[in-house]
Amino acid sequence: MTNLTPRRLHQLAQERRIPTPNDGQWPMADTIQALFRYYQHTSEEYSRERVLKLAAQRKRAELDLERARGKLADKSEFAQAIYRILGPARQHLEDKLVNQYPSVVSGLDPAAIRTYSRRLMDDLLQKIQQLGAEFDKL
């Protein structure tokens, strides 16, 4: 009547989804009611899983679209670009601030030091902006 094999019925009974047989006979009303409850629960669970799967697929499609439009970049590519930028930026900063700055400003009056410092700052910002063009490649 249930269209299930005896093996499947025993599996369901082991899982406590349906009552166990008594003397090899399945209690018909209780078994059918339990099967209906099992199928309803399974159907609801399946529907819930299907909705979650569709939501995940939609999210992935949205991300793929945003990536194709150039609005997203991979995290690893972004990190590599930062490292490519910071290395030369550090070298430039060190060259200007540690190697050149002290010798250039020694003996200058405060106004001249400020003027030189502003020019140096402009130069450093320009160099960092040039290095920042690396992000346009992502």
Record the pTM.
0.41
Which tens digits make up the pLDDT trace of 14-51? 988 889 988 888 888 888 898 888 888 887 888 888 89
- Please check the confidence at residue 79 and state whether its pLDDT lies above 80: yes
Residue type at position 88: P
- Please check the confidence at residue 124 and state whether its pLDDT lies above 90: no
Which tens digits make up the pLDDT trace of 96-119? 888 888 888 888 899 999 999 999
Contact in structure between 19 and 26 (CB atoms under 8 Å): yes
Domain positions in the chain: 6-67, 73-137
The neighbouring-strand residues paired with 22 are: 25
CA torsion sign, 75 to 81 to 84 to 87? Answer: negative
